[in-house]
């Protein structure tokens, strides 16, 4: 009888320990459900980006700079964390985000209905367009995608330009993809592509007179769009960053950065 009572007491103790551990685990999980708190605890926000001017690029001193760079740094200061910029392959941006290799996608990220299924976007912050770029010798010929039937059109893989080209029956079968938008410039300049589709923000800064791509020109606008910061679905980080954006709109600091880089802010929602 004593042995049975002893065993019963032992089992009761074990079950109580398990229940307490379970309660403790639920409390930790609940805390971990807050990405904002996790980021603040770690003291770092990992930001996925690619290199292209004027959003994120290396300045003459070799340091990362640009509109999105300064914008992200200002938001991180408000959050009380340090920014950690992580160079990614743009075509793998969602994979990088879902794997936890980055906490957000902050690099001229076009807001689309398709992407809204995979990420939560902040409010739009910059206006942009997808434009058709060609060598100036062909500027009078390649004024539309219809004129490019059977020609090679280069785009960044996974980009908004890629989506535009793939959805256009005139050029869908002759699309060449590259890793970065800047690679598209090189392909076009070398003559291995007849046209390119990419962001107007890039075109305004990297082609034309006084640049390394003086022979390239914009001949058409194919789509209007807006940029937003992308976070994992359901992340409370997105809500907090939106608050920071509102503050920067109100105090004029976001407008000041946009003016510095010649960008047009999107209207607040």
pLDDT tens, per residue, the chain with 269 residues: 444 444 444 444 444 443 334 333 333 343 458 999 999 999 999 999 999 999 999 999 999 999 999 999 999 999 999 999 999 999 999 999 999 999 999 999 999 999 999 999 999 999 999 999 999 999 999 999 999 999 999 999 999 999 999 999 999 999 999 999 999 999 999 999 999 999 999 999 999 999 999 999 999 999 999 999 999 999 999 999 999 999 999 999 999 999 999 999 998 76
* Residue 268 confidence (pLDDT): 75
In a domain, 29, yes or no: no
Residues sharing a CB contact under 8 Å with residue 234, sequence separation 6 or more, in sequence order: 120
Q: What is the DSSP letter of 267?
A: P
Q: Give the range of the structural domain holding residue 233, as residue numbers without chain letter.
A: 35-125+228-260
Q: Are residues 139 and 219 in the same domain?
A: yes
In a domain, 47, yes or no: yes
- Residue 136 and residue 210: Cα distance in Å, rounded? 15
In a domain, 20, yes or no: no
Q: Are residues 109 and 53 in the same domain?
A: yes
219 preceded by a cis bond (ω within 30 of 0)? no
Q: Are residues 96 and 134 in the same domain?
A: no
- Residue 146 and residue 125: Cα distance in Å, rounded? 32
Answer for the pair 67, 263: CB distance below 8 angstroms, yes or no.
Answer: yes
- Residue 163 and residue 161: Cα distance in Å, rounded? 5
Query: Coil, strand, or helix at residue 168?
Result: coil
Domain count, the chain: 2
* Residue 15 confidence (pLDDT): 43
Residue matched to tokens 């964390």: 81
The reply to whether the predicted model has a pTM over 0.95 is no
Q: Are residues 45 and 111 in the same domain?
A: yes
């Amino acid at each position: 009888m004593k042995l049975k009572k002893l065993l019963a007491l032992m089992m009761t103790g074990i079950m109580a320990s398990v229940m307490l551990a379970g309660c403790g685990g639920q409390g930790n999980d609940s805390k971990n459900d807050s990405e904002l708190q996790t980021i603040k605890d770690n003291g770092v926000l990992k930001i996925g980006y690619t290199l292209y001017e004027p959003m994120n690029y290396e300045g003459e001193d070799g340091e990362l700079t640009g509109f999105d760079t300064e914008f992200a740094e200002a938001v991180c200061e408000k959050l009380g964390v340090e920014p950690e910029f992580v160079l990614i392959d743009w075509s793998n941006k969602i994979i990088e985000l879902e794997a936890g290799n980055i906490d957000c996608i902050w690099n001229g990220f076009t807001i689309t209905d398709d992407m809204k299924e995979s990420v939560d976007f902040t409010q739009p912050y910059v206006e942009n367009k997808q434009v058709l770029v060609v060598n100036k010798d062909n500027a009078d010929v390649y004024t539309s995608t219809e004129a490019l039937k059977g020609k090679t059109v280069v785009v960044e893989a996974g980009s908004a330009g890629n989506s535009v080209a793939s959805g256009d029956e005139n050029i869908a079968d002759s699309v060449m993809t590259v890793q970065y938008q800047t690679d598209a410039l090189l392909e076009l300049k070398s003559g291995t592509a007849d046209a390119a589709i990419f962001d107007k923000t890039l075109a305004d800064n990297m082609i034309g007179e006084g640049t390394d791509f003086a022979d390239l020109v914009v001949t058409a606008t194919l789509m209007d769009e807006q940029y937003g910061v992308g976070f994992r679905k359901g992340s409370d980080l997105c809500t907090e960053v939106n608050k920071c954006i509102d503050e920067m709109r109100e105090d004029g600091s976001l407008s000041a950065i946009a003016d510095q880089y010649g960008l047009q802010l999107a209207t607040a929602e």
